[in-house]
């Protein structure tokens, strides 16, 4: 060893190993570092004493400086066998974590029965299972929920929870389903209990404007709906690696639907849940109630969808063009939502604007693959296959479009998308690409259609339109 001022140089011997004083020095430094790390955390009582002493000296100490890592089973007696209801135990763990300034509540491998009021996430708390193959939360709805809600929720479906602490909540690595913990489907789907709903507001002048929640590595089966992001401040959220299977209503919805109780507040449209990211979200078997839902519904703005898939969603209405109430009807009876009919059984229904869909897939849906109504959306490298699929459409193939673009959808950009009837033109969509008459400011280049009765249908278009499908080009006025 050699010292140069404050620097101690440790060298290796001829065998490239430490020995002698050099080895002793490194061992001593490592032992001191380990001792410092072990002593770096105060226990709860010591921390409380520290806070009291500091406050006595006139020093402000925030309780948020500590975070928790809690085990809902070993510390709060949640039952991993599923025999005893674990709702109160899990909520107690979440409450304690929130009071400690946030943290993680762990649900070890096991099966957990919950019932109304179900699991309420609180600010700064992440609920983490041991893996979506290992941790199952199942809803006991023997006593019906009095409000529309979800197994894991902030606020409920209809009403938000308000407060500046409603940030940085999360759910990961678990499986949510109804009735029991068995890996099999049930027809006993609750009418008003979904998988996860975030419906939060921060109030006036919050210290942070975006809630920034996350949902990762979650499976949801057999619920009223899968995931709903609704709150005004449920922004900068990330939803990744999610599978939603068999829902009465939509699989995933971002932004409030137009028939939501808070779709208008004081006469103004309130969408909520803008500026989010959805990545590898997979939805199938939505709309089994026949209520007119799509697999993935987007009513918000500035949200990015990457590698998402929506397939085998059921249609419950006519596919005859020109028929009132059919999936081609853009002048429906509901003045606030004249396009409501076209989302029935669709893979993606996009009513919001300025969203981006990259590498997304709609496959074997009963209705349209992508139904685009909102303005200035981008679809890049997406695929829509076999829309109006036989048993998902009520045995009515050739009655939908793989890509349906309404004339409200000005500013749409579509590049490099593919429509295909995978098993021949009699088995899938009627049109690869359908553009409603008098759309304007639409740029669609380099798109392809394979094995449809008609690759493209576009009526008389307005200004600034160029649409390319295969070798066919349509330009506007």
pLDDT of amino acid 388: 97
Q: What is the C-alpha separation between 428 and 392, in angstroms, rounded?
A: 11
What pLDDT, on the 0 to 100 scale, is given for residue 440?
97
SS3 content of the chain, % helix, strand, coil (to 5): 10, 35, 55
For 376, the token pair is 């200035």
pLDDT at position 45, please? 52
pLDDT tens per residue, range 12-70: 566 556 567 766 765 675 566 555 444 444 444 544 554 455 444 343 444 444 578 99
Share of the chain above pLDDT 90, in %: 83
pLDDT grade, residue 6 (50/70/90)?
low
Q: What is the mean pLDDT of residues 321-345?
A: 91
List Cα–Cα distances, 347 to 20, 251, 282, 314, 359, in angstroms: 70, 10, 11, 9, 14
Handedness of CA 420, 423, 428, 430 (dihedral sign): positive
pLDDT above 80: residue 111: yes
Pairing of strands 2-4, 7-9: antiparallel
Query: What are the CB-based long-range contacts (under 8 Å, 24+) for 339-342?
Result: 339/371, 339/373, 339/406, 339/408, 340/258, 340/259, 340/292, 341/292, 341/317, 342/367, 342/368, 342/371, 342/373, 342/404, 342/406
Lowest mean pLDDT among 6-10, 353-357, 434-438, 463-467: 6-10
pLDDT higher than 80, residue 282: yes
Across the range 169-190, mean pLDDT stands at 96
Instruction: Report the C-alpha gap between 388 and 321 in whole angstroms.
Output: 13
Per-residue pLDDT at 77 exceeds 60: yes
Q: Contact at 8 Å (CB) between 94 and 128?
A: no
Residues 346-358, mean pLDDT to the nearest whole number: 98
Q: Which residues of 20-59 are buried (b: 16+ CB within 10 A; e: fewer)?
A: eebeeeeeeeeeeeeeeeeeeeeeeeebeeebeeeeeeee
State mean pLDDT over 230-243. 98
Q: Quick one: which of 421, 433, 418 has its CA closest to 381?
A: 418
The owner of tokens 């430094």 is 29
Task: Give pLDDT tens digits for 191-214.
Answer: 999 999 999 999 988 989 999 999
Q: How far apart are the first and last CA of the chain?
A: 83
Residues 261, 283 contacting (CB under 8 angstroms): no
Contact status, residue 158 vs residue 125, Cβ threshold 8 Å:
no
**What element of type H or E holds 383?**
strand 383-385
DSSP code string of 264-304: EETTEE-----S-EEEEEEEES--TT-SS--SEEE-SSS-E
Across-strand partners of 433?
403, 456
- Picking from 270, 348, 361, the residue whose alpha carbon sits closest to that of residue 307 is 361
The dihedral built from the CA positions of residue 145, 148, 150 and 156, taken in this order, carries a sign that is negative
Q: Summarize pLDDT for 114-160 with one digit per residue, the tens.
A: 999 999 999 999 999 999 999 999 999 999 999 999 999 999 999 99
| pLDDT tier for residue 1 given thresholds of 50, 70 and 90 | low
> For residues 469 and 450, what is the distance between their CA atoms, to the nearest angstrom?
10
Answer yes or no: is pLDDT of 190 > 70: yes
pLDDT score of 207: 87
Over residues 288-310, mean pLDDT:
97
Q: From 405, 294, 295, 299, select the one nearest 355 (Cα to Cα).
A: 299
Tell me what the mean pLDDT of segment 346-363 comes to: 98
Predicted local distance difference test score (pLDDT) of residue 335: 72
| Cα separation, 24 vs 348, whole angstroms | 65
Percent of the chain with pLDDT over 70: 87
Average pLDDT along the chain: 90
- Smallest CA-to-CA distance from 345 within 386, 308, 303 is with 386
| Predicted local confidence at residue 24, as pLDDT | 73
Contact at 8 Å (CB) between 446 and 432? no
Read off the pLDDT of each residue in 206-232 and give the average, rounded to a whole number: 97
The predicted-structure confidence for 377-428, as pLDDT tens digits, reads as follows 999 999 999 999 999 999 999 999 999 999 999 999 999 999 999 999 999 9
What digits encode the pLDDT tens for the residues 447-459?
999 999 999 999 9
Higher pLDDT, 342 or 44: 342
């Amino acid at each position: 060893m050699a010292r140069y001022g404050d620097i101690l140089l440790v060298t290796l011997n001829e065998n490239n190993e430490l020995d002698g004083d050099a080895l002793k020095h490194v061992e001593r430094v490592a032992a001191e570092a380990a001792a410092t790390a072990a002593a770096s955390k105060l226990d709860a009582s010591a921390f409380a004493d520290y806070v009291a002493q500091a406050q006595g000296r006139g020093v402000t100490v925030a309780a948020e400086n500590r975070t928790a890592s809690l085990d809902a089973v070993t510390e709060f007696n949640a039952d991993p066998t599923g025999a005893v209801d674990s709702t109160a135990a899990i909520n107690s763990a979440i409450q304690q974590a929130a009071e400690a300034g946030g943290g993680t509540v762990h649900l070890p491998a096991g099966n957990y029965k919950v019932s109304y009021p179900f699991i309420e996430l609180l600010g700064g708390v992440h609920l983490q299972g041991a893996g979506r193959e290992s941790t199952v939360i199942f809803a006991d709805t023997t006593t019906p929920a009095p409000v529309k809600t979800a197994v894991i929720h902030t606020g409920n479906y209809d009403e938000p929870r308000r407060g500046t602490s409603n940030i940085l909540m999360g759910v990961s690595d678990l499986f949510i389903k109804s009735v029991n913990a068995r890996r099999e489907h049930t027809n006993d789907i609750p009418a008003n209990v979904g998988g996860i709903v975030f419906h939060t507001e921060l109030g006036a002048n919050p210290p942070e404007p975006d809630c920034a929640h996350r949902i990762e590595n979650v499976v949801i089966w057999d619920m009223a709906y899968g995931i709903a992001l609704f709150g005004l401040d449920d922004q900068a959220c990330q939803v990744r690696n999610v599978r939603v299977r068999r829902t009465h209503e939509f699989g995933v919805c971002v932004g409030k639907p137009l028939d939501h109780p808070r779709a208008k507040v004081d006469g103004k449209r309130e969408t909520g849940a803008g500026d989010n990211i959805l990545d590898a979200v997979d939805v199938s078997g939505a709309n089994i109630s026949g209520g007119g839902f799509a697999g993935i519904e987007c009513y918000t703005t500035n949200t990015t969808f990457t590698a998402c898939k929506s397939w085998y969603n059921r249609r419950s209405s006519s596919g005859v063009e020109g028929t009132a109430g059919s999936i081609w009807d853009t002048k429906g009876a509901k003045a606030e939502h004249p396009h409501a009919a076209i989302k029935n059984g669709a893979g993606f229904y996009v009513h919001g604007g300025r969203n981006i869909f990259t590498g997304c897939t709609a496959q074997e849906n009963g209705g349209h693959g992508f139904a685009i109504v909102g303005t200035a959306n981008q679809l890049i490298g997406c695929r829509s296959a076999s829309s109006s699929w036989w048993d998902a459409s009520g045995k009515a193939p050739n009655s939908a479009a793989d890509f349906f673009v309404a004339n409200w959808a000005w500013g749409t950009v579509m590049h490099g998308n593919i429509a295909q009837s995978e098993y021949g033109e009699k088995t899938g969509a009627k049109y690869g690409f359908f553009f409603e008459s008098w759309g304007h400011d639409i740029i669609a280049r380099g798109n392809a259609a394979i094995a449809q009765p008609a690759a493209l249908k576009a009526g008389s278009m307005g200004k600034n339109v160029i649409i390319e499908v295969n070798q066919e080009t349509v330009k506007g006025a």
